[in-house]
Amino acid sequence: MKTNKSLSKRLRITKTGKVMARQAGQNHFNAKASRVKQLATRKSVQIKLSPKLKSQNLPFA
Protein backbone atom coordinates (compact mmCIF):
# COMPACT_ATOMS: atom_id res chain seq x y z
CA MET A 1 0.00 0.00 0.00
CA LYS A 2 1.27 3.46 -0.88
CA THR A 3 1.74 6.23 1.66
CA ASN A 4 -0.42 9.31 1.13
CA LYS A 5 2.41 11.82 0.67
CA SER A 6 0.29 14.96 1.09
CA LEU A 7 -0.83 13.74 4.51
CA SER A 8 2.55 12.38 5.58
CA LYS A 9 4.25 15.73 4.90
CA ARG A 10 1.81 17.48 7.25
CA LEU A 11 2.18 14.97 10.08
CA ARG A 12 5.03 13.76 12.24
CA ILE A 13 5.17 10.50 14.18
CA THR A 14 6.88 10.58 17.58
CA LYS A 15 8.91 7.79 19.12
CA THR A 16 5.95 6.73 21.24
CA GLY A 17 3.63 6.62 18.20
CA LYS A 18 1.75 9.89 18.67
CA VAL A 19 0.72 11.71 15.50
CA MET A 20 1.62 15.41 15.75
CA ALA A 21 0.59 18.20 13.37
CA ARG A 22 0.87 21.96 13.06
CA GLN A 23 -1.91 23.85 14.76
CA ALA A 24 -4.48 25.40 12.43
CA GLY A 25 -5.20 29.08 11.98
CA GLN A 26 -1.78 30.72 11.80
CA ASN A 27 -1.29 31.53 8.13
CA HIS A 28 -2.83 34.99 8.01
CA PHE A 29 -5.01 37.45 9.96
CA ASN A 30 -2.65 37.22 12.94
CA ALA A 31 -2.14 40.95 13.45
CA LYS A 32 -5.32 41.17 15.52
CA ALA A 33 -4.44 38.16 17.65
CA SER A 34 -2.83 38.75 21.01
CA ARG A 35 0.83 37.88 21.41
CA VAL A 36 -0.06 35.06 23.79
CA LYS A 37 -2.34 33.49 21.19
CA GLN A 38 0.28 33.89 18.46
CA LEU A 39 2.91 32.14 20.54
CA ALA A 40 0.50 29.41 21.65
CA THR A 41 -0.28 28.42 18.05
CA ARG A 42 3.38 27.66 17.34
CA LYS A 43 3.19 24.41 19.28
CA SER A 44 2.26 21.19 17.55
CA VAL A 45 -0.93 19.44 18.57
CA GLN A 46 -1.67 15.74 18.83
CA ILE A 47 -4.03 14.40 16.17
CA LYS A 48 -6.40 11.52 16.87
CA LEU A 49 -6.55 9.27 13.80
CA SER A 50 -8.70 6.17 13.63
CA PRO A 51 -6.73 2.95 13.11
CA LYS A 52 -8.36 2.50 9.70
CA LEU A 53 -7.37 5.98 8.51
CA LYS A 54 -3.88 5.53 9.95
CA SER A 55 -3.31 2.22 8.19
CA GLN A 56 -4.71 3.46 4.86
CA ASN A 57 -2.71 6.70 4.68
CA LEU A 58 0.33 6.12 6.90
CA PRO A 59 1.30 2.45 6.64
CA PHE A 60 4.70 3.19 8.23
CA ALA A 61 3.07 4.44 11.47
3 state DSSP class of 45: strand
**What pLDDT does residue 53 have?**
86
**What pLDDT does residue 44 have?**
92
Nearest one of 8, 10, 35 to 24, comparing CA atoms? 10
**What pLDDT does residue 22 have?**
92
* 5-52 pLDDT per residue, tens: 998 899 988 899 889 999 988 899 999 999 999 999 999 999 998 888
User: Which sequence spans correspond to the domains of the chain?
Assistant: 5-56
61 pLDDT exceeds 80?
A: no
Edge to edge, the sheet with strand 44-47 lists: 11-13, 19-22, 44-47
Q: Residue 15 contacts by C-beta under 8 Å, 6 or more apart in sequence? A: none
The DSSP call for residue 46 is E
How much is the pTM?
Answer: 0.71
3 state DSSP class of 10: coil
In this structure, CATH architecture of domain 5-56: Irregular (4.10)
